[in-house]
Structure 1
Amino acid sequence: MVAGLLPVMRAERVPLEQAHGRVLAADLPALVALPGFDNSAMDGYAARAAELADLPARLPVADDVPAGRTDVRPLAPGTVQRIMTGAPLPAGADVIVPVELTDAGTTTVEIRSSPAVGTHLRRAGEDIAAGTVAIAAGTPLGAAQLGLAAAVGHRELLVARRPRVLVLSTGSELVEPGADLLPGQIYESNSALLVAAVDDAGGVARRLHFVPDDVDQFLATVRAELAGRGDDAADLLITSGGVSAGAYEVVKDAFAALGTVEFLKVAMQPGGPQGAGTVDGVPVVTLPGNPVSAFVSFEVFVRPALRRALGHAAPDRLHAPAVLAEPLRSPAGRRQFLRGRYDGGRVSQVGGPGSHLVAHLARANCLVVVPEDVTDLPAGASVDVVLIEGALQ
């Protein structure tokens, strides 16, 4: 249901230095070959291998070829040219003799040993040919990809626009971190968690100050936010809290009256109560209020949807098989996402299953997935784990 809410974001062209972390929206062709010309892979001497059959050999150094030289002369028979790494290969040369195999002469050089023909040469196009796809659409742009894009001649890149996400936590018991707490109040943490999670998924999050458990005030605040900001309008609203079966479920009460948001109980733990739909045409996902439930629900439902909207070729987290370090139990009929520490193919559960155990979540680096039809797993059993980033080491 959540996966179908967000369309693929439109593409926009951005400068190379602003493309880090974005997703390429179209195949990127190589405007030039890499390497663009035959060049040396070593500091040494460009030579003809056939002239080095009898060693040691003394040959005149006819020229110097530093990297960046554009007027390299052909290699005259019976001579060598001193050459630097990355410098163009003189026509006629078919081997580079590393300087370590010589006396490093500058006018005449003694070559004591020589590698085989073709050694230490970088041939034009051996990395990538001009006109071929350098980076495929749907690829996240990290340091290596941006380096390649620059190397094949691109100054700007066509990338998917980052989804704009409005994050709202609800609850009269919530207080800004750092303020004095009265009995029954807690510090609001879900917006910090969800804003960071949106950013990690590739979106741009804006935090809306949480509102009390008042249906009319909540709905008026949300509709005003969704109606404004023009080109900066939200593509998605994420709420946390107010969706369970209690008497003061402000999100559920407010949105249910609109008839465009569906609320249901999902057979998973944590994160059973969920909702999704639209408010005034804007996609909305309503998450549970307990921090661990909000985090797991975001990971299962929202993060893949955001990454699909960005055009990721692989929107899901990496999964890995793991061996349980200790036995665990799970309630029947609900898929469990347990916090775990994954190391070298083994996984240990971190804390209990409680959805309020935020400190345990902060120490986890994976979620252990236990299918709904499994109730007991012994130590040594094989399980599937979802690798999550941002965990404390």
Structure 2
Amino acid sequence: MISVDEARAKILKDIHPVGTEVVALSSAFGRVMTEDARSRRTQPPADMSAMDGFAVRAADLDTIPTTLKIIGEVPAGGAYDGAVKAGEAVRIFTGAPLPPDTDTIVIQEDTDFNDHSVTIKEGAARGTYVRPAGLDFREGDIGLKAPRILSPRDIGLLAAMNRPWVTVRRKPRIALLSTGDELVRPGEPIGPNQIISSNSLLVAALVEAAGGEAIDLGIAKDNASSLREKVQDAKSADMLITLGGASVGDHDLIQPVLGKEGLSVDFWRIAMRPGKPLMFGKFAGIPMLGMPGNPVSSMICSFLFLIPAIDALRGIEPRHPPRQKAWLSHELKENDQREDYMRATVLGEKDGLPVVKLFAKQDSSMLSPLSAADCLIVRPPFAKALGKNDMVDMIPLTQPYPVV
């Protein structure tokens, strides 16, 4: 068996970024931009008013109060092109360009006005409430540098820079193949000895959340011909994930069958719990992860290995589940030679750190504790027994991979 860190290093060593495509800005959220984005315009394009009020010459405000003649009005999207002379003002609204010769905005709350004149009751320094041209950015400026996962804020900036299209990594295509006579899809008739296939949907959701595109290859029966048939569609993907059948039992066919189809295996056992029978290799020239059949094992293996692999395919630094310290609310026995990932819930807080309690049953087939869990408690190999109020490492499950 190899360690979790060794396994991750071996997997990432063989992962290379996928190609690029040009997409509309409306479809770019969460995608990895691959080229620096330069602005195609200056923002704002001219000196603009930041408030509703009056555009004036600061020189006319030396004496307060003062009364100025109103010679025009300019709304947002409009313009006043005439000259503004001493003793004159223009009614202006937020977002409108300043008329020539004006340099200051007096907000309407500081005035009394009618249709013909305005009395300025409070003075204002030159440039007050004026957004100068290029305040945000200028044409040709690099607004965003690549590579970058595009957030909603980035989408707004690109739009303001007048960039309707953006070059991004295409979504990595991750093929998912479940195996086993005992599996049926949700909603299908269930035989007396069958179970619902939940793994593929769980892992597919993680793939989509990580920025990939999940391709469901269906369920292969426990025979060589079914497995060979189903796996053919994986050859157009960027990575193949098999779910179940990766161990060494009589009905575990991944290694013997796909080995004859060109599968080369790098490793297939990891010193971790759950997830020990994880296989990694190459099939048809693409990376392949053979995950255990139990859903909790698949989820944890996806956290540790699949999501960082998708990051590498997207051309960004692989993320790893963030860890933090927590207080244990009960005793915990010593660990064996495998790194342990245990489902737990957060009871509260002490001294700024969470207080956690492990679920009594940690069977890797149980999805209800997985759904209810707030975190995973991580224990290194051969960890000593712990008592109540001892400190442990935890991985939060609420937002393990924020996109924005």
Mind listing any 5+ residue stretches in structure 1 that lack a counterpart? 228-232
Moved over 6 A (4+): none
Look up the equivalent residue of 1:100 and give its one-letter code.
Answer: E
Pairwise CA distance, 1:192: 0.8
Q: Helix, strand or coil: the match of 1:265?
A: coil
**Matches of 2:280 and 2:248, distance apart in 1:** 16
Query: Is 2:371 aligned against 1:385?
Result: no
**Matches of 2:84 and 2:375, distance apart in 1:** 59
Residue pairs, 1:138-287, within 5 angstroms: 138-222=147-231, 224-227=232-235, 233-257=236-260, 258=262, 260-287=264-291
Query: Is 2:305 aligned against 1:296?
Result: no
| Aligned-residue CA RMSD (Å) | 2.7
Does the C-alpha gap of structure 1 residues 126 and 253 become closer, same or farther in structure 2, counting only changes over 3 Å? same
Does the C-alpha gap of structure 1 residues 42 and 278 become closer, same or farther in structure 2, counting only changes over 3 Å? same
Q: Helix, strand or coil: the match of 1:319?
A: coil
Picking from 47, 54, 60, the partner of 1:38 is: 47
Query: Is 2:29 aligned against 1:20?
Result: yes
**Matches of 1:339 and 1:37, distance apart in 2:** 57
What residue number does 1:107 align with?
Answer: 116
CA displacement 1:340-377 (0-9 Å, x = unmatched): 55688525346343322212222335444443354445
Look up the equivalent residue of 1:307 and give its one-letter code.
Answer: D
**Matches of 1:89 and 1:185, distance apart in 2:** 74
**Matches of 2:320 and 2:83, distance apart in 1:** 54
Pairwise CA distance, 1:28: 0.8
Pairwise CA distance, 1:94: 3.1
CA displacement 1:217-237 (0-9 Å, x = unmatched): 313431x3235xxxxx21111
Does the C-alpha gap of structure 1 residues 380 and 331 become closer, same or farther in structure 2, counting only changes over 3 Å? closer
> Is this contact kept in 1: 2:177–2:230, CA < 8 A?
no
**TM (normalized to structure 1)?**
0.87
**Matches of 1:192 and 1:289, distance apart in 2:** 13
> Once the two structures are aligned, what percentage of the paired residues are identical?
33
Q: Helix, strand or coil: the match of 1:262?
A: strand
> Is this contact kept in 1: 2:218–2:230, CA < 8 A?
no
Look up the equivalent residue of 1:292 and give its one-letter code.
Answer: V
**Matches of 2:124 and 2:325, distance apart in 1:** 47
Does the C-alpha gap of structure 1 residues 105 and 9 become closer, same or farther in structure 2, counting only changes over 3 Å? farther
CA displacement 1:248-267 (0-9 Å, x = unmatched): 21223323454512342212
Q: Helix, strand or coil: the match of 2:266?
A: strand
> Is this contact kept in 2: 1:24–1:140, CA < 8 A?
yes
> Which range moves more in the overlay, 330-339 or 78-87?
330-339
Query: Is 2:15 aligned against 1:6?
Result: yes
**Matches of 2:82 and 2:374, distance apart in 1:** 58
**Matches of 1:277 and 1:176, distance apart in 2:** 27
Aligned residues: 384
**Matches of 1:338 and 1:90, distance apart in 2:** 67
**Matches of 2:19 and 2:54, distance apart in 1:** 52
